[in-house]
A and B are shown apart, each in its own frame.
Chain A
Amino acid sequence: MSEDIISNARIAPISLKPDMRVRFFSDNELEQIHQATLTVLQKAGVRFPSKKALETFAKAGANVDFKKQIVKIPPDLLMKTLAKAPKEYVMGSRGSKGLDVILDGKTSYLGTDGTGMATIDFETDIRRDSTKVDVGNMALISDYLQSIGFYWPMVGATDVAPPLISLHELDASFNNTEKHVHIVTCTEKAQAKYCVEMACAVADSQENIKKRPPLSLLVCPISPLSQDVASLETALVFAEAGLPVGFATMSTLGSTAPASIPGLFVMGNAELLSSLCYVQLECPGAPVYYAFYSMMMNPYTGGSLTHPALQPVMNNAVVEIGKYYNIPVMAGFGCGNSRDLWSWDQGMGSSVDSLLMYQCGADLMPTVGLMEECTLLHYEGLVLDDKIFNYVKGIADGLTINEETLAVDEIISVGPGGHFLDKPLTFKNLRGLWEQGVDTTWDPQKGDFKDTKAAAREKTQWILDNHKPVPLEDNVKKEFQKILKAAETELVK
């Protein structure tokens, strides 16, 4: 059956011209951040409330206080262990290799943001709890949009039994997109086991899962300087199966981190390095990545605040810090504070952040589509962000300088006065220049650009009605049903 549908999924990552790269730090400043981190890891240490982890660290030569559950990591142990993490690897798709995310340090992949909890209903425009259908619909839209390189279920499937949420998110995701899937809602090893089974079913065999792992997981340390045992155990189940695992600190400026951005970087870096070091001690060579998900505290409510000026700095300066350790970096968890998709602020935030993100060269950028500090989904939001990213891609692709593009012959042939309307370059290039982002919003009948709102709705509806993702093979679907059944029997009371 699946042979009937030809894949229309595409991805269009960005390879930035090295000359266009933006740096926040000099080498010397990076070194200072690194040294400060080492001091924190040696003097304060990190809490690992897990006997297994404490024993592993002690055996490796760290300074472990079993009573206080604190691990202090000496620099040489840290650096030696981190060096085991692969610098480059592949996050596989379930489709052709052309859809794989190839982490080579030079290419940036955009992904959806997750995992919100509420949805503005596409039909009624009314806010409601998010559902498994939303997870599937957004996977389908992401399958279609070229800018999206990997899919993070954008909202939680709140309409299924809580212990099965992550599994149903995977079910809806894999069924609706061929692209790589990334999750965060798996928080216990009991669920992790079934997630791995689903990934194996998708990847055919354990062997394949290591070459092109179709699933990855993100887990978080608890700022300041603590680890969560259940999260670490979950991460190990994934890592042991060969699935990539990332660590993201959500240290918040002013509440769980010092109210100084470089200070937040030092502390968050210490947390992440301790997580990464632990995984490499347990599973040497496991594919891992490095992520900051920091915001500022809203001083009036204590909530997370996407500060218009500081957020792009926090999102992007960390790329260099992660790369200092030769580990792929995920950065830029987009999101504004706005509840209103049509507000000026939302578009402004996405634009500034996205350009900077490409220029800093993060490997993974799960940044599009959510609002209200990454909790609220608006279907059309993804289509609008896709548009911003297409513009930005145009900028980030840079300009090619050669004899033809410098157009000296044409300039001389026209000379002072005259025009270029009938010149070869005009004929050859005008269409391409126009199509770079804006063509789909032009309304020839109106002789003007379409209303942004109407165009986004129209495009979203069109994708939902017309895009047909390549379905999972029948046997994989059956396997999924079996896994969900078994998980239900074990995990739901």
Chain B
Amino acid sequence: MKEFILTEAKKVIREGDKEKAAELARKAIEGGIPPAELLEEGFVPGITEVGRLFENEEIFLPELVMAADAMKAAAEVCNESIPKDEAVTKGVVVLGTVKGDIHDIGKSIVESFLSASGFEVHDLGRDVSTAAFIEKAQEVNANVIATSALLTTTMGYQQELEETLKEKGLKEKFKTIIGGAPVNQKWADQIGADAYAEDAAGAAQKISDLLGV
């Protein structure tokens, strides 16, 4: 029975069915499967497989996004039943598009990728002020603050974040990663961001490197 449920968990993620994933998680936990095991041996291998298929260009982005949504729904149910300090996550990321900037397609893809890679992501959406990034990061005890900027006129807010973190003595507490079309490694070096990534897969890789996971 357990074997069957774990296989089902993988399948439901691959199919990207959010409702089914949450329901399966609830039923499995009620049925006595430990939530951590359900995650680690069912849902996580499912999303890892989807990630692999995507990297190999066997599936399209919308399928990855749906799988990531299903994963989030399943993880939420599992994590509710796991004591906070034992929660299964590779790290906590606060993500958003900077102030004055309403571009969020790239940022949302990064969100899906990070979720699919096992990070707990708090997506603050677009047009997010520096203060709001920091406040949320402190509230959820984040490891990383990730910012997206798509306009030459809004990149400056990524710098503002670095400066504010330094002023508040928080630079050591949160790692930072930046991205978006006008942004590059040179800009990251210039403002003192810990990492830059060109695309969503790169974002997951760089954050893993930053956190050593």
Check B153–A163 contact: CB distance below 8 A. yes
Smallest distance from the beta carbon of A69 to chain B beta carbons, Å?
15
Contact segment of B11-19, B37-45, B55-63, B136-144 = B55-63
Query: Does B199 touch A at the CB level, under 8 Å?
Result: yes
Query: Does B191 touch A at the CB level, under 8 Å?
Result: no
Task: Give A443 to B50 CA distance when docked, in angstroms.
Answer: 57
A222: B residues at CB distance < 8 A: 102
Query: Does A479 touch B at the CB level, under 8 Å?
Result: no
Residues of chain A in range 102-152 having any CB-CB distance to chain B below 8 Å: 115, 117-118, 129-130
B151: A residues at CB distance < 8 A: 185, 187
Check B100–A230 contact: CB distance below 8 A. yes
Check A228–B102 contact: CB distance below 8 A. yes
Query: Does B182 touch A at the CB level, under 8 Å?
Result: yes
Task: Give A375 to B61 CA distance when docked, in angstroms.
Answer: 22
Query: Does B181 touch A at the CB level, under 8 Å?
Result: yes
Closest to B112 in A: A302
Check B181–A117 contact: CB distance below 8 A. yes
Check B105–A158 contact: CB distance below 8 A. no
Check A299–B100 contact: CB distance below 8 A. no
Query: Does A197 touch B at the CB level, under 8 Å?
Result: no
Check A302–B109 contact: CB distance below 8 A. yes
With contacts A129-B186, A228-B102, A301-B61 known, what are 7 further pairs, Cβ within 8 A? A129-B182, A156-B152, A162-B152, A165-B153, A300-B57, A303-B106, A375-B182
Query: Does B155 touch A at the CB level, under 8 Å?
Result: yes
Residues of chain B in range 142-185 having any CB-CB distance to chain A below 8 Å: 151-156, 181-182, 184
Tell me which of A130, A162, A299, A302 has the highest count of chain B C-beta atoms within 10 A of its own C-beta: A302
Smallest distance from the beta carbon of A190 to chain B beta carbons, Å?
11
Check B60–A166 contact: CB distance below 8 A. no
B102: A residues at CB distance < 8 A: 222, 228
What are 29 A-B contacts with C-beta separation under 8 Å? A115-B152, A117-B181, A117-B182, A118-B182, A129-B186, A129-B187, A156-B182, A158-B182, A161-B156, A162-B153, A162-B155, A162-B156, A163-B153, A165-B152, A187-B153, A228-B102, A230-B100, A254-B62, A255-B105, A256-B105, A298-B61, A299-B60, A301-B199, A302-B61, A302-B105, A302-B109, A302-B200, A303-B106, A375-B181
Query: Does A252 touch B at the CB level, under 8 Å?
Result: yes
Task: Give A156 to B184 CA distance when docked, in angstroms.
Answer: 15
Residues of chain A in range 291-346 having any CB-CB distance to chain B below 8 Å: 297-303
Query: Does A188 touch B at the CB level, under 8 Å?
Result: yes
Check A299–B182 contact: CB distance below 8 A. no
Closest to B61 in A: A302
Smallest distance from the beta carbon of B183 to chain A beta carbons, Å?
9
Smallest distance from the beta carbon of A324 to chain B beta carbons, Å?
29
Residues of chain A in range 147-193 having any CB-CB distance to chain B below 8 Å: 156-158, 161-163, 165-166, 185, 187-188
Smallest distance from the beta carbon of A199 to chain B beta carbons, Å?
19
Smallest distance from the beta carbon of B192 to chain A beta carbons, Å?
17
Smallest distance from the beta carbon of A299 to chain B beta carbons, Å?
4
Check B152–A185 contact: CB distance below 8 A. yes
The count of chain B contact residues (Cβ–Cβ below 8 Å) is 23
A299: B residues at CB distance < 8 A: 60-62
Q: Kindly count the residue-residue contacts between A and B in the assembled complex, taking CB atoms under 8 Å apart.
A: 62
Task: Give A117 to B182 CA distance when docked, in angstroms.
Answer: 6
B154: A residues at CB distance < 8 A: 162
Q: Name B residues whose Cβ lies closer than 8 Å to a Cβ of A.
A: 54, 57, 60-62, 100, 102, 105-106, 109, 151-156, 181-182, 184, 186-187, 199-200
Check B152–A252 contact: CB distance below 8 A. no
B109: A residues at CB distance < 8 A: 301-302
B182: A residues at CB distance < 8 A: 117-118, 129, 156, 158, 375
Smallest distance from the beta carbon of A335 to chain B beta carbons, Å?
13
A300: B residues at CB distance < 8 A: 54, 57, 60-61
A185: B residues at CB distance < 8 A: 151-153
Task: Give A301 to B127 CA distance when docked, in angstroms.
Answer: 23
B181: A residues at CB distance < 8 A: 117, 375
Task: Give A118 to B187 CA distance when docked, in angstroms.
Answer: 13
Task: Give A301 to B182 CA distance when docked, in angstroms.
Answer: 17
Smallest distance from the beta carbon of B60 to chain A beta carbons, Å?
4
3 cross-chain pairs, A with B, having the tightest CB-CB distances, nearest first? A156-B152, A299-B60, A162-B156
Smallest distance from the beta carbon of B61 to chain A beta carbons, Å?
5
Smallest distance from the beta carbon of B116 to chain A beta carbons, Å?
13
B60: A residues at CB distance < 8 A: 299-300
Task: Give A156 to B62 CA distance when docked, in angstroms.
Answer: 32
Task: Give A185 to B156 CA distance when docked, in angstroms.
Answer: 14
B156: A residues at CB distance < 8 A: 161-163
B54: A residues at CB distance < 8 A: 300
Task: Give A127 to B185 CA distance when docked, in angstroms.
Answer: 13
B100's partner among A166, A187, A375 (CB-CB below 8 A) is A187
Check B105–A252 contact: CB distance below 8 A. yes
Task: Give A129 to B183 CA distance when docked, in angstroms.
Answer: 9
A297: B residues at CB distance < 8 A: 61
Task: Give A233 to B173 CA distance when docked, in angstroms.
Answer: 39
Task: Give A156 to B180 CA distance when docked, in angstroms.
Answer: 15
A252: B residues at CB distance < 8 A: 105
Closest to B160 in A: A493
Closest to A304 in B: B105
Check B106–A166 contact: CB distance below 8 A. no
Task: Give A250 to B113 CA distance when docked, in angstroms.
Answer: 24
Known: A117-B152, A375-B181. A188 touches B100 (CB 8 A): yes
